[in-house]
Amino acid sequence: MITKLILAWKNPESRQWTPIGCLEYKDNMYYFNYTNGAKITNFQPFGQMDELKNTYSSKNLFPIFKNRLLAKSRPEYEDYIKWLDIDENQNELIELSRSRGIRATDELQLFPIPKKNDSGDYEVLFFSHGISHIAEHYVQRLSKLKGKDKLLILKDVQNEFDPLALALRTQDDPVELLGYCPSFFVKDFYKLMELNGDKNVSITIKKVNLDAPLQLKLLCRFSTKWANGFEPFSSEEFRPFK
């Protein structure tokens, strides 16, 4: 079960995603603290959580996160839960981790902190990113794919926006791009490919949602061995604010 999420903020100046907080559910309580990433000069803390050094607690999900859940009264709710591939009775952090809590009115997203799965391996689920930049026949190719189909990673080293970008492509001919891995995970993906070998990581399709919005069409699973000494999101900017 997912119990901890990283809150990321897209810096309007650099256009880079920076971890600025951590949301945790523990012992029937919610906790939020800022991380060292919040030290970036142009970030402003949230109105009711304006002290960077404090840890905030609540019996209920904080409003800034609660407002990112889709109301069950919305007509598209049943479809939405189906697209996310979750049960409506699962905890709120599951929905936020899968949907990333995206709102059109701000530049915040939520990402799960990966933990070892039941087999002791590294595994993370994500929707393919950057689909709007792909050729129009993308959706047509999706109609030919199904769950458990294997995808391959393509290092997009000449990407002018992000030289670490990892594209997703089909394994079978004709080879076509199917989007990108979320940039927030790619440093860890590179680290795991270095530790385990490029051929010892796996990207498979978890679910194809042909009737969903673009950002929710292709749910993928990245998995590999949890390498000795590996720690996800280990850089200083992820650590609690000091």
Which residue ranges make up each domain of the chain? Answer: 4-115, 121-225
CATH architecture of the domain with range 121-225:
2-Layer Sandwich (3.30)
Q: What is the pLDDT of residues 57-110, one digit of tens each?
A: 999 999 999 999 999 999 999 999 999 999 988 889 999 999 999 987 889 999
Strand partners, 22: 6, 33
pLDDT (tens digit, 9 = 90+) per residue, 115-128? 899 999 999 999 99
- Cβ-defined contacts of 48-55 (< 8 Å, 24+): 52/241, 53/241, 53/242, 55/31, 55/240
Percent of the chain with pLDDT over 70: 100
Once rounded to an integer, what is the mean pLDDT over residues 156-183? 88
Q: What is the pTM of this model?
A: 0.92
Could you give the CA distance from residue 45 to residue 109 in angstroms, rounded to a whole number?
A: 15
pLDDT band at 24 (very low <50, low <70, confident <90, very high): very high
